Structure 1
Amino acid sequence: MFKCRLLASLLLLWLWVNNQALGQSDTTSVERDKPQQNPPATESWLDNWHSNFSESMDYTAQRLDEFFALADSDEHENARAEGRVRFGWEPRTRDLAAQDFRFRVRVKLPALKDRVDLMLSDDESYDRQDSIRAARDAVNENRDSTTLSLRYQEEQDSPISHRIGAGRRGQLFAKSQYESDYHFTDFLKMDYDAELYYYTRDQLGAELGLDFTYLLADEKYLRFNNRYYYRDRFEDWFWRHEVQYLRPLTQESAILYTFVTKGLTKPNHHLNEVYTSARWRTNYLRSWLYFELEPFVIWLRKEDFKPSYGVAMRFEFYYGRQ
């Protein structure tokens, strides 16, 4: 798994460095076709770096989409990349060296009528909410392995999507997903989804998700997340229940309280993990740059449910349309 993450880190770095060179030398570069504009004098090196990174990722997206474009078509020039990169240190008792690196890259392909997305991520669940590494859903070994896939949707707002790709210890997979929501009132909403997938070695798997969100006053909310995973290799179910309470502090910051329980159904219905935390998140410097501080306590069956105390420190940046 460490090798996969190292490879993914080097891939992201190579894309940025390589496209900086291509953007300067390729006479067909999109930037050469645009009027040159000098950045405002007030922009810092951080803003310039973020702008250059975003443009280089867009350039890569356009070159990928060009492969699918019809002759004499320039639709690929509208291709854009979006995503995020996160770095974190998550020391806890009995594991002071715990680190985390997460990334998401999504490329819309206009040459294919925006029905196909190219996705590169650090795990197989592109849109899944994050937690500390020690509390990730260990449904299958090395679930947090680099995944490359193509996702197809008939329409951009279609509830059904299909994916094919490679991930989870180098396995090929195919996945179908259905997701939607239902508003009971203006304050109570239900999100639900179902997934069915097949991996070449792990074989059949399925997931069911059911979330309830209740909006409170002053932009606060309560959320109840429930998720079930079926594992064909072990013929059992993995379950996860979570309660979240979000409290905004300022226009740029908020705190999220979380309580999670997880377990399995074989050899009997039992608890494997309990996890609670308070995550402070802010982006007061830039709209695309976030900092997080998350004190937490985790109890694991493999550690005889002895409490392990820790604190996660992260920074994360977004690029593209997100």
Structure 2
Amino acid sequence: MSCLILLFCSSLVVEDTSNRTMSHHREADAELKTDEIVRPFPPDTVENKDASWFDRWQQSLTQSMDNTARQLDSFFAVEGSDAYKDARAEGRVRLGWEPRTRDMSELDLKFRIRVKLPALKDRVDLLLSDDDDYDEDDTINAVRDQSLSSRESTTIALRFKKSDDSSLSHRIGTGRRGQIYLKSRYRDTYSFNQNWSMLYDAEAYYYTRDEFGAEVGASFQHVNETDHVFRFNNRYYYRDLSEDWMWRHELQFLQPLTNDSAVIYNLFTEGFTKPGNRLDQYYVSARYRTNPHREWLFYEVEPFVLWLREEDFKPSYGVALRIEVYYGKYHL
């Protein structure tokens, strides 16, 4: 099974509960096996004689982040409890260069950090990100809506859940260039059978300056017997400031090549309801992703063609070059 199946499909996986169907259990078990392939090794599994300076750097980063997590969690620990010693941090850092015609200097830095707080019975996570969307965002930087550019700023938040596998979560934090916000999200997965599944979610939030906003989305996914994956993503955003909706539709097809490489073909479209229901941008791409050297180190090459309304829909040709590093037991 390809090393990318989990990373591509993980957003459609929710922890099993006792009332899940047997097909959902089998699907989760299969993806957990893949999870073992793509997650980083714990620090003590790389033999010192085989560890390069880069291995030691990744292990040092993981240990340093875990120490910070334990120190943070110790503030919430009750007297006599050592639960804070189990606190862990996990995340990823991705650096990319996405040159294209008419813009050769497009750089993209994305990061995700999650800190589990066992002293609070794992009901609260600390989240730190480059923007306020903690899901995987695989679109190229040039298509991210500039009218929502305030999203592209460091965000820190506390996420509350009734239980670790709860579908409903609440966040309070700061983002969008210093605004305080509150957000509630419901997110769940439904498996039709062993091959078809659906992720659906809805969220509402309030920012101190941007005011009210809402999002709703649904993704349909099919995985065949040869691990080829087809996904159809749909998402709608309501913006209180402009009183309009932004919509996004995306078709993706993942083709495994080897045990550590795959190609993801992508067709992405985006538009707005005002003025008029119009298409604003779209692009096509083929993203090659591989991790031939380390399970926590990924490389990507993604040639693409982009059409933007602001550029009169003239084709812009480009290629995205990315490197991505994971640390901890990454499972955002």
Shared fold by TM > 0.5? yes
Query: What SS does the aligned partner of 2:64 have?
Result: helix
Alignment of 1:156-171 (within 5 A): 156-171=164-179
Distance 2:145 2:289 in 1: 22
- Structure 2 counterpart of 1:305: 313
Unmatched segments (≥5 aa) in structure 2: 1-43
**1:277 and 2:285 correspond:** yes
Greater C-alpha Rg: 1
Instruction: After TM superposition, give the deviation of residue 178 of structure 1 in Å.
Output: 0.2
Distance 1:38 1:285 in 2: 13
Deviations 1:2-46 (A, max 9, x none): xxxxxxxxxxxxxxxxxxxxxxxxxxxxxxxxxx99952111111
Amino acid at match of 1:207: E
Alignment of 1:219-258 (within 5 A): 219-258=227-266
Amino acid at match of 2:250: E
Deviates more, 1:243-252 or 1:141-150: 141-150
Query: What SS does the aligned partner of 2:60 have?
Result: helix
**1:208 and 2:216 correspond:** yes
Distance 2:136 2:52 in 1: 33
Distance 2:129 2:286 in 1: 26
Alignment of 1:10-29 (within 5 A): none
- Structure 2 counterpart of 1:67: 75
Distance 2:109 2:228 in 1: 29
Please give the TM-score of this superposition, normalised by the length of structure 2: 0.84
**1:268 and 2:240 correspond:** no
State the structure with bigger RCO (CA 8 A, min sep 6), 1 or 2.
2
Choose from 162, 180, 184 the match for 1:176: 184
Q: CA RMSD in A?
A: 1.5
Query: What SS does the aligned partner of 1:157 have?
Result: coil
Choose from 52, 60, 71 the match for 2:60: 52
Pair 1:59–1:185, CA change in 2 (3 A) = same
Distance 1:223 1:37 in 2: 35
Instruction: After TM superposition, give the deviation of residue 138 of structure 1 in Å.
Output: 4.4
**1:78 and 2:86 correspond:** yes
Distance 1:97 1:132 in 2: 13
Deviations 1:121-144 (A, max 9, x none): 001011133221102244623211
Deviates more, 1:132-141 or 1:68-77: 132-141
Instruction: After TM superposition, give the deviation of residue 184 of structure 1 in Å.
Output: 1.4
Percent identity over the alignment is: 56
Distance 2:128 2:147 in 1: 20
Distance 1:117 1:48 in 2: 27
8 Å CA contact 1:118, 1:151 repeated in 2: yes
Distance 2:59 2:295 in 1: 13
How many residues are paired up?
287
- Structure 2 counterpart of 1:146: 154
Distance 2:119 2:69 in 1: 11
Please give the TM-score of this superposition, normalised by the length of structure 1: 0.87
- Structure 2 counterpart of 1:108: 116
